[in-house]
């Protein structure tokens, strides 16, 4: 059987008058190490292209990056919001909704979990230090923190533990959970750090960056599970 094709969403950067698509190679490395083939998805997909991606790709990986536009979840502007790109927001929200509706296996990382929540009707904290407090240094990857995991969740079954040590580098996070999502992981200050789509073949979002922790089986297994779900969907 050919290796599953996993679409990876690209970030957007601007240099002078040019707009660039870019992504850390760690996402590609994670997909390939887990047994998949990475296919890069630019933030310029129209409806026809979205449907084509759904038909040809076996799974979807939503990557980290800049902030989601607060207008998309009814939030006010905040001076710490940065890097908003309307085309990326629109593309990724459409991909999430398509994945949720059709059983397309997907994994969201950092910004990815936030996009999942917004796409399905939830809201975000615009800036965690100001709105949630600073008991946990979410913006300090070097420090990291523990995430408590719901025992009867898919995530707990994957990592084989009730808690996991994660890295942390974000200033936004889930405020109100979207209908249809289940919170399955929390940081010590109560922030939702992992979500699942109940009844979906594989719909998972995490606030941390497992692609930067491939030395740990607890983080690599998230990509392996995505690849396995992609294989199962192919067979089915």
Residues labelled catalytic: 110, 209, 211
Say how far residue 157 (Cα) sits from the centre of its chain. 19
CA distance 228 to 31: 11
33-63 burial code (b ≥16 CB/10 A, e <16):
ebbbebbebebebeeeebeebbeebbbbbbb
136-148 burial code (b ≥16 CB/10 A, e <16):
bebeeeeebbebb
Q: What is the CA radius of gyration of the chain?
A: 16
Angle between helices 111-119 and 86-102 (to 10 degrees): 70
Can you read off the two tokens belonging to residue 178? 């979207």
- The SS3 of residue 194 is strand
């Amino acid at each position: 059987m050919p290796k599953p094709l996993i679409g990876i969403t690209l970030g957007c950067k601007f240099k002078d008058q040019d707009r660039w698509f870019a992504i850390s190679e760690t996402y590609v490395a994670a997909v390939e190490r887990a047994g998949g083939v990475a296919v890069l998805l630019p933030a310029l997909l129209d409806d026809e292209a979205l449907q084509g991606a759904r038909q040809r790709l076996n799974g979807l990986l939503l990557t980290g990056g800049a902030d989601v536009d607060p207008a998309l979840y009814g939030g006010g502007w905040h001076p710490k919001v940065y890097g908003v790109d309307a085309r990326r927001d629109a593309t990724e929200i459409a991909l999430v909704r398509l994945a949720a509706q059709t059983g397309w296996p997907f994994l969201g990382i950092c910004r990815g979990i936030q996009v999942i929540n917004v796409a399905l009707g939830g809201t975000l904290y615009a800036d965690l230090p100001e709105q949630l407090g600073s008991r946990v240094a979410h913006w300090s990857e070097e420090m990291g923190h523990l995430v408590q995991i719901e025992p009867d969740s898919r995530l707990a079954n994957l990592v084989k533990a009730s808690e996991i040590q994660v890295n942390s580098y974000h200033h936004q996070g889930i405020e109100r959970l979207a209908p249809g999502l289940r919170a399955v992981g929390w940081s010590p200050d109560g922030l939702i750090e992992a979500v699942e789509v109940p009844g979906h073949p594989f719909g998972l979002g995490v606030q941390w960056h497992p692609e930067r922790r491939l030395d740990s089986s607890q983080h690599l297994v998230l990509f392996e599970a995505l690849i396995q779900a992609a294989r199962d969907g192919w067979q089915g």
